[in-house]
Amino acid sequence: MIQILFLFSLLVLSEAAVQDFCVGDLTGPESPAGYSCKKSDKVTVDDFVYSGLKMAGNTTNIISAAVTPAFSTQFPGLNGLGISMARLDLAPNGVIPMHTHPGASEVLVVVQGAILAGFVSSANDVYVKKLNKGDIMVFPQGLLHFQINARGIPSIAFVSFSSPLPGLQILDFALFANNLPSKLVEKTTFLDDATVKALKGVLGGTG
């Protein structure tokens, strides 16, 4: 009996360094593969659990909607594991505007209400569908897509991504919420000056 315990401790020790997971240490150096790993003897079950999606996001805003991310930045237990989540809250008139995730595909499941969702492919084909509670839809990596409340009640969805850090590029923010000169926006989108300046005004852009 002593012998087996002895062997087992050896085995267990030798395996103690095995990298089953790499809970992100946001204070350490980052690599192209993600955050540095927290020392494994400091890791507890709380590193693998996240409660930040429990509460509705604040939808008292112009889009009447909120995206609450649980990416590896918010939930470091996901670091290196190829997956992440977010919660979508859409008030009755809520819209998640056109956006992309540069580095991930997305699956959405409706858990309350109904959502009209769609994406556009590289071939410019349009895929739009009204999703009811329990329906799921997949949005292939990097393509423009959107979600709109499709029933007069608050709607909620959980979305999952094929990356712990999928990115989120909201089209209107990318074009109108920064210092990208109006002239460049106009030249590269065919929008007219008045439209660009109006939206820059609304979204806080300059230039």
Residues 154-193 binding its own copies (CB under 8 A) are 158, 160-162, 165, 167-175, 177-180, 184, 187-192
- What's the closest the beta carbon of residue 168 comes to its own copies, in angstroms? 6
Binding letters toward its own copies, positions 72-111, x by CB under 8 A:
-xxx-xxxxxxxxx---------x-xx-xxxxxxxx-x-x
| Partner residues linked to 130 by β-bridges | 116
Residue 79 near residue 25, CB atoms below 8 Å: no
Please state, in angstroms and rounded to a whole number, the distance separating the CA atoms of residues 22 and 3.
Answer: 33
Residue nearer to its own copies on the CB measure, 92 or 204: 204
- DSSP, collapsed to helix, strand or coil, labels residue 125 as coil
Using CB under 8 A as the binding rule, the residues of this chain from 136 to 155 that contact its own copies are 136-144, 146, 148
In this structure, the number of other CB atoms found within 10 A of the CB of residue 116 comes to 17
Closest listed residue to residue 145, CA positions, set 166, 8, 71: 166
CB of 155 to its own copies, least distance (A): 14
| End-to-end Cα distance, the chain | 76
Kindly state the DSSP code that residue 181 receives in the 8-state scheme: -
Q: Which is nearer to its own copies, 154 or 195 (CB)?
A: 195
Is 101 known to sit in a ligand binding site?
Answer: yes
Q: What is the DSSP string of 121-138?
A: -TT--EEEEEEETT-EEE
Q: In the bound complex, what is the minimum distance in angstroms from residue 124's beta carbon to its own copies?
A: 5
The reply to whether 30 sits in an annotated binding site is: no
Q: Identify which of 49, 58, 62, 57 has the alpha carbon closest to the alpha carbon of residue 23.
A: 49
Q: Is 99 annotated as a binding residue?
A: yes
To its own copies, the closest distance from the beta carbon of 173 in angstroms equals: 5
If one asks whether residue 113 binds its own copies (CB under 8 A), the answer comes out as no
CA-to-CA separations, 163 to 107, 122, 148, in angstroms, rounded: 12, 21, 24
**Residue ranges in 17-56 that form contacts with its own copies under rule CB under 8 A:** 17-22, 25-26, 28-37, 40, 44-46, 48-51, 53-55
**Of these, 128, 152, 153, 193, which contacts its own copies (CB under 8 A)?**
128
# binding residues, its own copies (CB under 8 A): 135
Q: Tell me the binding residues for oxalate.
A: 101, 106
Binding residues: 99, 101, 106, 145
